[in-house]
Structure 1
Amino acid sequence: MHITVASIVVLALWSLPSATAQTKNTASTNKVKSFDHLVINVSDMERALAFYKRLGFTLINEDGWRRGQGQVSIKIGDNQKINIHKQDVLGPQNKPQDIGPNDKFNLAYIPLAGDADFCLVWGGTIQEAQQHLRDSGVDHISVPRNVTGARGPATSVYFRDPDGNLWEFVVYPQ
């Protein structure tokens, strides 16, 4: 059985109380302001870095990572980042290694490349997003799709990175 990030999120959301109960109970206690960072797991760091550079992303600490000092991140906006982790706890058959009896359910220790799904707001038209992806050498780009994003109705295009992670550029009406 293959457990994906999406299935874990669905299970977590399914176990939450109803939206009505959440609104009543969490309005004054929830102090979450924004995302700080997300993590993407990759199987080949050099291939991933080349891909993200072709897309024009700004990488943080690439030189430090090459010296064995810290991790590489993709800068998103002014205050967020996506950390790039090398998938390295998998065994020769791409199966999780035994990481100890107390850690077997700690999924943070069993990253799988290709399990991520990201949506980033594109600061131009959907046609410009598609052209940017084509110019960056991305092979498979979806047709524009009407979606409902966090801010409401929008249009998105989807593509995959070399590890199969799903990326989405969303454009909101002006």
Structure 2
Amino acid sequence: MNKPSQIHLWLMRAAFCVLVLMILFFQLLPLQTQPGQWAPPDLLIGFAFAWSVRRPEFVPPLMLAALLLLADLLLQRPPGLYAALVLLACENLKGRARALRASTLVAELLTAAMLMIGVAIAYRLVLKLMLIDTAPMGLSLLQLGLTILSYPIVVLVTHGIMRVRKTGPGDLETAGGRI
């Protein structure tokens, strides 16, 4: 590997870490003292999915697991459950990344939506089986719907502002080989 690509790889990994920490910071800000009537979209899963499809090498599994576990701890969710489910979904997307590179945004959105629905169902099911209180179903469905609807905006930010783009057939990977 040459130096510029290695530096770029680590800079983009650091950028993803900063992005996750910014999302967590804004989620932890006490903007309201009363419980809300709606739940904002889960941008963490949106950006993790978008980066996993576009450039899987920027989101290594260990780093993603650590960041998601930190999110579980800070957001007072059962430690590791949501992190494991999102990590499995991201790894599934990384496995499909080659096929999704050649597809349209609609196909990517449908794939991401199905995985988001799967993560939400599995998360809620495990919480119910363990007899842990969950948010009302309507609130969870609203958050899931808003997360799916915000995915194209997340992709636009990822692609346009953060310059994390899908690799093309002639692009060189960071390992030096062709895709």
After TM superposition, the score normalised by the length of structure 2 is 0.25
Q: Counting helix residues as a fraction of each chain, which structure ranks higher? A: 2
Q: Compare relative contact order (CA 8 Å, sep 6+) and give the higher one, 1 or 2.
A: 2
Q: Counting strand residues as a fraction of each chain, which structure ranks higher? A: 1
* Rg (Cα) greater in structure: 1
